[in-house]
Structure 1
Amino acid sequence: MGTDSPPSSSSTAPVAVGAKNAVRAVAQHHRAVVGFLLGFFLVLLLYTTLSSQFGSQTAIGVLQSSSAVRSGPAARAAAPSLPSSSSTPSNLAQGDYMEEDGGHKNDKPSKMEEEHIQDDAHRIGKNNQSEAKLDVKNGQNAEQTGQQGASDASDRMEEELIRQEIDQGGGNKNDTIIEPATAPRKPICDLSDPRYDICEISGDARTMGANRTVLYVPPVGELGADSQEWSIRDQSRKYLEYINKVTVKSLNASQAAPECTSRHAVPALVFAMNGLTSNPWHDFSDVLIPLFITTRALEGEVQFLVSDLQPWFVDKYRLILRNLSRYDIVDFNRDGGVRCYPHVTVGLRGHRDLGIDPARAPRNYTMLDFRLYIREINGLPPAGVSIPYKEANSNAATAASGAPEQQQQRKPRLMLINRGRTRKFVNFPEIVAAVQKAGFEVIPIEPRRDVSVEEFSRVVDSCDVLMGAHGARLTNFFFLRTNAVMLQVVPWGHMEHPSMVFYGGPAKEMRLKDVEYSIADVESTLYDKYGKDNPVVSDPESIHRHGWQFGMRYYWIEQDIRLNVTRFAPTLQQVLRMLSE
């Protein structure tokens, strides 16, 4: 009783079983680690083999695809290495991808190959797991912990490779787009066009005419530390020094916006009426056509804020201005308040001299659209009505009822414009007589500035031919009917090109018939003034090479025309034939 007795079998059994289990757990954990390393080695071997077949970029994609079976945000962020066609947002991104791939966009593995590689990797992992499967719960937890640690290490390695590729300009730039903390603000003003500058402000736009300033007040969330400012000429000719500039400014967080003295529900347009206006050609080319391009699509729902307002311009072209805007014109320079608009445009879009580019115009407007528009607002007959010569004779033939005395046709009517100062016809009465002799009814005109546009437009509409020397008065061709003729007398001095560009081309675009008569050197008063051997007469090209101001001096300003009516007669016959076609 007093001596120690050996332990019984029942008391020693748990100790033996515990030791045995611990040894087994350690052994199984060891096998799990060895199994994982073996699996990783096989995957690495696959990676090395595929690298030689698909290139380094594809191999990285395969390595990523083999681990892409895991789920969760980390997997989604790291796994998609190769771009698909549907995920490429732009041609620029596609170009980047092709450059990284050495220009071989189709070298990436097919979907079937990727699935096969993933299946192999998954099968290897399952075999390793089955070999290392533990008999007890503690062993399972140890295995899962070991695998999770190895998986985390693999994730970190993969993510580091991707990060290094991105840092070095590699990888797929299409997977993740990282926006800057503060995106740069879109410029309000576009200064890229060689002809005009334009500013568009949408949102909170405030005008201060007395300061020739237009402000943009960004929403509170977009207010930054920097402000933007432009100074532009608010007409269609950006380099014309006669146009005073308007300042356009975007406020920043530290700048207080002035209080509105009036609020408006419609957009506004700020533009200048000065410059080269008072010449009809420039009135249309610099202001009225650009105004049509910029605002016609708004159908009158816009208010004009006019800098350097010209009262005579407003009075002369009041029908056009009232039709393009249903609201009162504001004298911008004298406007002392702060007007608030939902949208303000500063400047006028102009495509070319006396022209419209349909590809750049709202609703693809053309010069034909502009001519028909001008005729409509002046109350002239619509497009389908024939030229007066044909219309009158057709009506006369219908009403004559066969009486010979009533079937006499009306002569075609020709408006003969004589300029007042330069390039005028010095033998005007002789020209009138020659035109009448050729078979035309002549309406001689020496335009005055005080003539009403509406009244004069009706006179032009009644004519079949508009004739004059190259110059601004030919701008009245806007009031002619379709298929009427513009007969342009081209002065001496290689003036054919500007005559075609400024009038001949636009006339054809508006479905008018263009006829040009180029005078001979002896028909120019320069011949009398300088003599036939002077370069001004004998070699005009040498004068133009000295600069535009020399050509302007001699051929636009100093020159008048003495038309040789005998030489001119065939041109009049050509016009008669065209009217009869």
Structure 2
Amino acid sequence: MVADSSWSPSMSAPESVSRRLVQHHKAMIGFLFGFFLVVGLYSTVSGQFGSTNTIAVLQSAPTAEHSDKNTTASSPGASMSSPPASAPKNSTQGAVHDVDNGQNVDATKKTGDQRLQDNVHGSDSINNKTSANFTVNLDNLQANRTDKSGQTVNTASDKQEEEIIRQELDLDGDTNERNTRHGAPRKPICDLSDPRYDVCDMSGDARAIGGPNRTVLYISGDAAGAEEGHEWAIRDQSRKHLEYINTVAVKSLSAAQAQAQSAPECTSRHAVPAVVFAMNGLTSNPWHDFSDVLIPLFITARGFDGGVQFLVTDIQPWFLDKYRLILANLSRHDIVDLDKESGSVRCHPRVIVGLRSHRDLGIDPARFPAGNKNYTMLDFRMYIRELFSLPPASVDIPYKEQSAAAAAEKQRKKPRLMLINRGRNRKFVNLPEIAAAAEAAGFETVVVEPRRDLKLEEFSRVVDSCDVLMGAHGAGLTNFFFLRTGAVMLQVVPWGHMERPSMEFYGVPAKEMRLRDVEYSITAEESTLYEKYGKDHPAVRDPESIHRQGWQLGMRYYWLEQDIRLNVTRFAPTLHQVLRTIRG
């Protein structure tokens, strides 16, 4: 038998253990040598690409901009992966898109859409989706940083990289301060872009200074604000081109400027927003009362649900009295005569100067801010009827509301027609004859001539009791807000190509409010212009030639000088048409 050379019976146990320890020690030395060699090689290689990886990690931030800010503030890792709140437009990611020649545009848009959806579903889903987006964007960014020759492409300038790093370091500061300094730019304080109105909307430190030099100061807490030191003169109504509406000065100051200029301190503080607006202008005409003030005030203030205070300039006591129900509902707080508040500095968390308006006597639901109810003219009519305690929308027009028993006994009342006459121009010069013609057609006729001091609470109930509201094109037809759904507005259109303004100012709103609009256009012979100037005068023979010379001449003849002598024989078919509409 051949002895095994790897083991000898003469070798003692301690010697065997000692040899194994020596072998283990040599193996450990070899392992450590190899480990440090690998680390050294890795450090050398990775050092060449370290800046690229750093930029890639920083630039992944835009996909994480909706992550929870508490996590961001408490974790350095989260801080490095969250975005600078306002990254430069020509940032690294933007440069990469340039290299891609636009190939990443769709992907970027999709990512943006995804972030909008994330906002709706809450912070947990936002954080989960952010992680996925971070990985995708990081991979794309690293892949796009190599050119065709395989060389690394540095698409961000040193200045951009320094800005990104500086913003990341700022994450160690206060979160709210960071959002203020680097967040998305605020909307402009004052918007002068609308052709109808100017409006200023200030949230924060807003101070309304009363007296003849009515002023609203806005003290910005943002040291980098873009509008400090600016001043605007705002006509605080919905018609900014009416020169006789006095202006309100709106001034924006930084905190430093306010201190340097000794800005007046608050004499009273209020927890609710305020709206500053003028009651003058073309008011005292019901159409302008609603079109220029009440509907714009509804558009501007209805979203506050009464939790707003009105600071009124050029206040009109009669307006306060006539429309007190509407004003009291839009604001639960006392109305302030700002012109008489000399020495007062009223501080509100938000102040709006001016009234938003969509169009003449109209509401465009698409123009309400996001998050607000998109009101319509129908909503406004129902709102007015509710304020004046008129029957709800479910109640039919008065003629059809009568009991079936009365109809069966043939005691049914006639449809009721309110005939509105104007006091100065475009009035009916043969009013009794017109009223008799309406009676002969089958109507019960109520003749009225509204005055400015009319008590709307009482008059609204009279209008509500009627099935038809008839009048010449003019302010009296504005009482159609008190009609029931399905009632008829019968508009007599004066001579002079007046069909278009008649439709725009009354016909369109009536239809939007679910009223039935019927129009009767008079002939030249039914106008008193025919009697005054004769058939050959341009105002009678060729109205278009008058309009081509400017609106002032058309206003003179067709709005101011003209009255109406209605041909009741020619008008009779229109009355029968309305009667069929009511009974149908």
Asked whether the two chains share a fold, i.e. TM above 0.5, the reply is yes
Match of 2:195 in 1: 194
Counterpart in 2 of 1:541? 544
Corresponding position of 1:213: 215
The amino acid across from 2:248 in the alignment is: V
State the 1:158 CA deviation.
6.7
TM-score (norm 2): 0.72
Q: Which piece of structure 1 moves more, 95-104 or 544-553? A: 95-104
For residues 225 and 436 of structure 2, the distance between their equivalents in structure 1, rounded to whole angstroms, comes to 73
Listed as ranges, the matches of 1:310-325 within 5 Å are: 310-325=316-331
The structure 1 residue matched to 2:288, chosen from 282, 301, 322, is 282
Aligned-residue RMSD, C-alpha? 3.8
Structure label with greater radius of gyration: 1
CA offsets 1:165-211 (integer angstroms, 9 cap, x no match): x89xxx9x999989999777753111111111111111111111112
User: How many pairs align?
Assistant: 467
SS in 2 for 1:364: coil
Relative to 1, partners in 2 of residues 1:187 and 1:103: Cα closer, same or farther, differing over 3 Å? closer
Q: How does 1:149-164 map to 2 (within 5 A)?
A: 162-163=156-157
Name the aligned partner's letter for residue 414 of structure 1. L
Matched, 1:491 2:491: no
| Aligned residues of 1:218 and 1:251 also touching (Cα < 8 A) | yes
> Contact between 1:83 and 1:175, CA under 8 Å: does it hold in 2?
no
> 1:520 is matched with which residue: 515, 523, 537?
523
Query: Which residue of structure 1 aligns with residue 360 of structure 2?
Result: 353
Question: What SS is found at the alignment partner of 1:528?
Answer: helix
Q: Which one of the candidate residues 422, 427, 439 is aligned to 1:424? A: 427
Counterpart residue number, 1:239? 241
Query: How far apart, CA to CA, are the structure 1 residues paired with 2:452 and 2:513?
Result: 25
Question: By how many angstroms is 1:248 displaced?
Answer: 0.9
CA contact 2:419–2:446 (8 Å) conserved in 1: yes
Query: Within 5 A, what are the aligned runs for 1:232-381?
Result: 232-252=234-254, 253=256, 254-336=260-342, 337-361=344-368, 362-381=372-391
1:413, distance to aligned residue in structure 2 (A)? 0.1
Kept in 2: contact 1:80–1:175 (CA 8 A): no
Give CA-to-partner distance per residue, 1:374-395, whole Å, 9 cap, x none.
1111111011100000002xx1
Structure 1 residues 107 and 320, CA, compared in 2 at 3 Å: closer, same or farther?
A: closer
Gaps of 5+ in 2: 1-36, 66-85, 108-136, 171-177
How far the C-alpha of 1:399 sits from its partner, in A, is: 6.0
Matches of 1:377 and 1:225 in 2, distance apart? 41
Distance 1:277 1:225, change over 3 A: closer
Residues in 2 aligned to 1:543 and 1:225: alpha-carbon distance in whole angstroms: 47
Equivalent residue, structure 2, for 1:203: 204
- For the structure 1 residues 308 and 162, does the alpha-carbon distance in structure 2 shift closer, same or farther, using more than 3 Å as the test? closer
| CA contact 1:251–1:257 (8 Å) conserved in 2 | no
* Distance (Å, rounded) in 1 between the aligned partners of 2:198 and 2:250: 12
Say whether the 8 Å CA contact 2:56–2:142 is kept in structure 1. Answer: no
Please give the secondary structure, in 1, of the residue aligned with 2:220.
coil
For residues 98-147 of structure 1, give each alpha carbon's deviation from its aligned partner in whole angstroms, at most 9, with x where no partner exists: 55544455999x979988x99xx99xxxxxxxxxxxxxxxxxxxxxxxxx
Residues of 2 paired with 1:113 and 1:237: CA distance? 52
- In terms of mean alpha carbon deviation, does 184-193 or 257-266 score higher? 184-193
- Runs (4 or more) in structure 1 with deviation over 4 Å come to 66-71, 79-90, 92-100, 103-108, 110-115, 173-186, 220-226
**Aligned partners of 1:318 and 1:106: how far apart in 2?**
55
Structure 1 unmatched ranges of 5 or more = 1-31, 41-65, 123-153
Change (3 A) 1:68 1:544: farther
| Partner in structure 1 of residue 533 of structure 2 | 530
Q: CA deviation at 1:559?
A: 0.6
2:427 is paired with a residue of what secondary structure?
A: coil
Are the counterparts in 1 of residues 96 and 141 from structure 2 also a CA contact under 8 Å? no
Task: Choose the corresponding residue for 1:435, options 438, 457, 463.
Answer: 438
Q: Deviations over 1:47-100 (max 9, x none)?
A: xxxxxxxxxxxxxxxxxxx969955xx44334479999968999x889876555
